[in-house]
Amino acid sequence: MPKIVWFNGTLMPLENAVVPAGDHAHLYGDGLFEGIRIYNGKIFRFDEHVERLYHGAKMMGFLNMMPMATMKQAILETCATSEVTEGYIRLNLTRGTGLGLDPKNIDQTPNVMIMVNTLALYPREAYETGLKVITTSFRVMPADSLDPRLKCIGRYAANIMAKAEANRAGAGEGLMLNQQGYVAECTGDNIFIIKDGVIRTPHPSCGILKGITRDTVIELAGRAGIPVEETYITMFDIYACDEAFLTGTAAEVIPMVELDGQLMGDGKPGPVTKQIMAAFREETNVGTDIPVAQKV
């Protein structure tokens, strides 16, 4: 199926897609993004992703935004044209176009890109055996510098460097701490640990992106009667836990079985992790239907 891009109202094949050289995200990272999954012809947590994008745009003071309903319709029509039934939507929104940091000196007409593609963050076997993770030397950005709920393009430079550090160590992922030394998140995922049947995950105030897959897992655990605590987690807590797993739109739900050479429990995906993974797979059957493309 074709991989396509919708850019400011124009559809084109992915290989032909370009953005203006003066795009403010290209020049300064001044933009927001969302990654959204398509499962079996349905967009997963569609409203939550688009709403988060618009909340971020309001926080960053973007002007001249298209109505949210218009954005949703553009996404649906792009997905319909692509005919992708299992895929990944990358949605980029930037402040506008022009040289210079000062927004008042640029054309503040937002640039919008909708890409329909495929993405596999980890090899399939990692979901069966689990990831080996290292603690990276890169810390998450403090919340008093940039609110971590903003899925801001420029924010991810530290995550990219942390991921490269994990790659050099031969690890599947890198764990990032905050400035106080508490566990925050991995380079592209939220983290959960299980101890004595209780699921724990870093509190949003620890400097994490409040992930939509993270929120889904908390909801699923609640339905299953598994207690969940959003709290402050230390390295000791991870080393002493029974199980651990990571979540994210790209990652989905994946076991974490080792940190810095220390096994989580017996070093295999645990029963609670497997239960959450199965519940998440079932939940992906629910979503927003992609309309059938109109043939001309």
**What is the set of active-site residues?**
151
Instruction: Measure the CA–CA gap between 285 and 42, rounded to whole angstroms.
Output: 8
Instruction: Measure the CA–CA gap between 85 and 71, rounded to whole angstroms.
Output: 20
